[in-house]
A and B are shown apart, each in its own frame.
Chain A
Amino acid sequence: MSGGDPHALESRLISAGVERLALLGKHAETLMAGYACDEVPLEGLSTTALNRLLAARILWRPDEQSGVKLAPKVRELIAEMLADETRRHVNADVAETLELVRTLVQSYREARDAGEYWRQEQQLLRLRQEVDDLNGRFADAIDSLWRRLNSDFGFVSRLGDKIRENERAQKQIVRLLDGLELIDFNELIELVGSDGALRKLLVSGLQQQLTHHYTSLREVQRRLIELMARFRQQQSRSRLVAGMVGFLREHPNFVPGNYAMRSEVPELINRAAPIMPAGAVALDHDADARLAAELLHRLPRPASRPQPVTAAGAAELPEDTQVAARQQALKEDVEGFYLAVVDHDGEGLSALEYLQGSDLEWDEEIWLFQVIAEYQGLPRSEQRAFRLRQVETQASPLNHLYLIHDVQLQLALPA
């Protein structure tokens, strides 16, 4: 062994490491500013501090003219810590690790044969760290892939970018799988020989972990391909719709063929006419008759008939004078609407549009109700001067309840 006491060397490394790691915390904000943009801002950084950061290879200067940048490893470290998928790298670099493992196993063997236990222990520790690193790189890569997958590549916004990111992720998987292929367990078995500790580390342990990575990678790959198919389908739909809209704009008179008259009617076009199932009470069936009678009793009683039409029906005298005043105001506003119709030269006016276009704040339903009531309250002769049309739809195809959405009022022009 060369160069002094190995223990002293180690403690020197540790203290230097602690010092340099502390630099990261001390200049965290400046470093993150450098992560976010191209260069590290030098304001607020003393020359000494800058030199320390450069010496620790946290920062580097690509050439004399350019500014100071984050070292690639530091950028990668931050991306890993933040799980920042836009900048995270996936790189398992198996070949180099294998090379290193071979070297370390050789040194380990030599140390063992020479009986240098401390050195033997050190080599084993480094081997263990290398294997852990290799595992960690696969685990990180798989984690990064899953995150991108589960967020639907949410870190990019455009579909085209998502498709490209997905392609990139699939290529990464191929590279990772190629990396796994490089690990030849027959070679490793031969390499470790009969050494129990090495066998456990490099054969059984590693094999188990790599099998796990392999399964995960295959699963991510399958899901990425599925997601890609969905992206492509989305893309193709958008293009199809955009294309058809463009075509129809250019050819406003385009009419497709009448596919319904072909001898073979296409499946998509063949949509049968709706049937409304109807039912009635079976009066010849005793049990039904009883049920019908019960239902009949439960029907709500018809409201009492309105007063004869001398006065506007809905504006009955309420007890409360405030309510009466509001009722009167509503009636006057509705009369305003009728006057607007008269002024509108025989064109129809929508009661709702009139309400929305004015400053009036009546509830739409109350407004329509009053417009109808006002009409019904008019003397017959005046009623004939107006035409009232209800805009209504059937509440459900299964019954005959009609809902009034709006009322159109128009002056009835003399024929």
Chain B
Amino acid sequence: MIEQGPLLERLLAGDFICAVSDEAAFRHLQDETIREQIDDYLRPLNRRLATNTDGTVYFLSWLRLDEAAREQLSRQLGDTVGSLMPMLEWLQLVQEALGRDGLAAPGDVLKPADFSSRCEDHQGLRERLERLASDPFFGSQSDQLDAQLKQVFKRLKEHGYLQQPHADRQYYVVTGKIDYLIDLVRFIRDEENLPIEDQAPTQQSLL
């Protein structure tokens, strides 16, 4: 168990562990025996390992829910829901600004410099970024493009959606926490029966 010390510490600190944020740890977590060992260790702390729908991220959840835990969960849910709109708008902005096929996915590399060059050429993107950066979730107070981008990336890193492999190099890797966010969006849609379609209207059934 001693070799899982750093992993346990990260999990206990509330980190999401995925193949991007900690590849070795994530590999360990694929092993059922190790997962059981970790659960045994966590039991007295009233915690257990949990994962998202596709098993691409691991995090800790409460083992037994008491009143205090429920309070904490509703506060947390409120925060997450509050961050939903800016996060989803950011995902769309990335897709459009970088001319990508799909949304940013775990393992994708993002560079603030790419955004600033696209935004400089494109007034519409520039305005959207400005609006987004000043959202309380990102909280930029600057009117400078580079400062806004810096703040947005900093906040995404703090929230665990991005990882910066080298502190002095301006490139970031999208983590598996994005998968969790998408799963949550799908969950809310299903729970609330929101009229949101995610399948293409005309599909030939090849699969």
Q: Which residues of A contact B (CB under 8 A)?
A: 157-160, 162-163, 167, 170, 225, 228-229, 232, 234-248, 255-261, 265-277, 350, 352-353, 356-357, 393, 397-398
Contact = CB atoms under 8 A, between A and B. Distances in A.
A350 B50 CA distance: 42
B194 A247 contact: yes
Nearest to B194: A247
A356 B196 contact: no
A244 B47 CA distance: 32
B197 A356 contact: no
A240 B200 CA distance: 11
Contacts of A235: 102, 200
Interface stretch (B21-29, B30-38, B176-184): B176-184
B83 to A, nearest CB: 12
A167 B207 CA distance: 10
Contacts of B196: 239-240, 243-244, 246-247
A170 B99 CA distance: 27
A271 B61 contact: yes
Contact of B206 (A167, A246, A247, A265): A167
Given A259-B77, A353-B142, A276 B182 contact: no
Contact of A228 (B186, B188, B207): B207
Interface of B: 9, 12-14, 45-47, 50, 52-53, 59-62, 65, 69-70, 72-74, 76-77, 81, 84-85, 88-89, 91-92, 95, 99, 101-103, 105, 141-144, 147, 158, 180, 182-189, 191-192, 194-200, 204, 206-207
Contacts of A232: 200, 207
B166 to A, nearest CB: 17
A170 B69 CA distance: 51
A271 B185 contact: no
B73 A269 contact: yes
A244 B194 contact: yes
Given A237-B182, A267-B61, A244 B103 contact: no
A272 B103 contact: no
In the A-B complex, list the 3 residue pairs whose CB atoms are closest, starting with the nearest.
Answer: A234-B102, A274-B14, A243-B196
A398 B52 CA distance: 27
Contacts of B14: 271-274
Nearest to B146: A356
B92 A241 contact: yes
Contacts of B46: 272
Contact of B13 (A258, A266, A275): A275
Contact of B187 (A229, A248, A266): A266
13 contacts: A236-B199, A244-B188, A244-B189, A244-B196, A245-B85, A247-B196, A257-B191, A259-B77, A265-B65, A267-B61, A271-B59, A272-B60, A277-B9
Nearest to B61: A270
A368 to B, nearest CB: 14
Contacts of B69: 272-273
Contact of A258 (B47, B77, B206): B77
Nearest to B188: A256
Given A261-B74, A267-B50, A268-B187, A243 B198 contact: yes
B144 A159 contact: no
A167 B105 CA distance: 23
Contact of B183 (A245, A246, A255, A268): A268
Given A163-B200, A267-B61, 15 more contacts: A157-B101, A158-B101, A225-B207, A229-B207, A234-B101, A236-B198, A236-B199, A239-B197, A243-B194, A247-B196, A260-B73, A268-B183, A271-B50, A271-B59, A272-B62
A260 B70 contact: yes
Contacts of B182: 237, 240-241
Contact of A245 (B50, B65, B88, B141): B88
Contact of A234 (B84, B91, B105): B105
B13 A274 contact: yes
A397 B160 CA distance: 13
With a 10 A CB-CB cut-off, give which of B72, B103, B143, B158 has the most chain A CB atoms.
B103
A245 B89 contact: yes
With a 10 A CB-CB cut-off, give which of A170, A228, A260, A277 has the most chain B CB atoms.
A260
A163 B200 CA distance: 11
Contact of A261 (B52, B70, B206): B70
B188 A277 contact: no
B158 to A, nearest CB: 8
A328 to B, nearest CB: 27
B13 A268 contact: no
With a 10 A CB-CB cut-off, give which of A247, A266, A272, A275 has the most chain B CB atoms.
A272
A263 to B, nearest CB: 10
Contacts of A259: 77, 191
Nearest to B203: A232
B9 A268 contact: no
Contact of B92 (A157, A167, A245, A256): A245
B141 A350 contact: yes
